[in-house]
Amino acid sequence: GAVVSQHPSWVICKSGTSVKIECRSLDFQATTMFWYRQFPKQSLMLMATSNEGSKATYEQGVEKDKFLINHASLTLSTLTVTSAHPEDSSFYICSALGGGATYEQYFGPGTRLTVT
């Protein structure tokens, strides 16, 4: 149980275009999901907290108009990278917050974005 999927797993796009990444909790409902970004040989950096039915909370330094987050249902959050630039190329990982006393986070497999 507690499986989180991401789609696509790998995407290449041209500069200036937008790309959408989906994060789904497959066998549980998640009112809260998190989006992280990892550059090569770096840590996972939190970008934003996504709450179902409300606006996302962005970390300092993350442009909310560039990284659009929509958490429209209890099992789906989407991250749209708008007007992508090569420096947006990174590995994007989502996690979904489970219920219960420990509030465990379940991570998706990640999405590799390459902007050419």
Partner 1 sequence: DQQVKQNSPSLSVQEGRISILNCDYTNSMFDYFLWYKKYPAEGPTFLISISSIKDKNEDGRFTVFLNKSAKHLSLHIVPSQPGDSAVYFCAARGQAGTALIFGKGTTLSVSS
Site residues (CB under 8 A) for partner 1? 4, 6, 10, 32, 34, 36, 41-46, 49, 91, 93, 95, 97, 102-105, 107-110, 112
Q: Shortest Cβ distance from residue 22 to partner 1 (Å)?
A: 14
Q: Strand, coil or helix: what is 54?
A: coil
Largest Cα–Cα separation, the chain: 44
- Residue 13, beta-bridge partner list: 115
Q: Which is nearer to partner 1, 13 or 46 (CB)?
A: 46
* Least Å from the CB of residue 57 to partner 1: 10
**Judged by CB, which is closer to partner 1: 84, or 96?**
96
For residue 96, the minimal CB distance to partner 1 (Å) is: 11
**By C-beta, is 28 or 107 nearer to partner 1?**
107
Two structure tokens written together for 70: 């929509």
The nearer residue to partner 1, 35 or 75, going by C-beta atoms, is 35
CA distance 18 to 67: 10
Short-list 13, 25, 29, 16, CA closest to 83: 16
Is 92 within 8 Å of 78 (Cβ atoms)?
A: no
